[in-house]
Amino acid sequence: MADDDVHRIELRAKSVEELRALLDDADVDLGCRPSVRKVGEDYVVEVYSPLPTVDRLRTARAAPGVAMNVIENASEVGRVRQAEVGSGNRFAARIAPRGLGIKE
């Protein structure tokens, strides 16, 4: 696991204000459309960041009521998914691909 790999991290707090206090100066990626979900009594948001940044948040965080859970190494998941993509030209035989996609 490389230090520069990006990880998907779940942040969980009792209030939106606690999440906001932690994320105000945090150098993390909230994704394209950041949203806070209510899960039981907690508010949950997912962020993307390298582990060294997460470690800095854990040690110097402004909101002690925020729990952090590393869900997955998003960089590794991306590498695995890229390996699933073929490298050939599926249109070379001039035959339309078959499958579940929409045929245009």
Residue 76 lies in a domain: yes
Q: In terms of residue numbers, what domain contains 40?
A: 6-83
Residue 98 lies in a domain: no
Residue 99 lies in a domain: no
So what's the pLDDT on residue 91? 80
How far CA 8 is from CA of 42, 46, 91, 94, in Å, comes to 18, 7, 35, 40
Is the distance from CB of 4 to CB of 79 less than 8 angstroms?
no
The rounded distance, in Å, linking the Cα atoms of 23 and 68 is 12
Starting at the edge strand found earlier in the chain, the sheet holding 67-73 runs 37-39, 42-50, 6-13, 67-73
Ordered per-residue pLDDT tens for the chain, 104 residues: 567 899 999 999 999 999 888 888 888 999 888 889 999 999 999 999 999 988 888 886 666 888 999 999 999 999 999 888 878 887 888 887 777 766 55
Q: Which amino acid is at 19?
A: L
Residue 79 lies in a domain: yes
So what's the pLDDT on residue 98? 76
Number of domains in the chain: 1
Record the pTM: 0.76
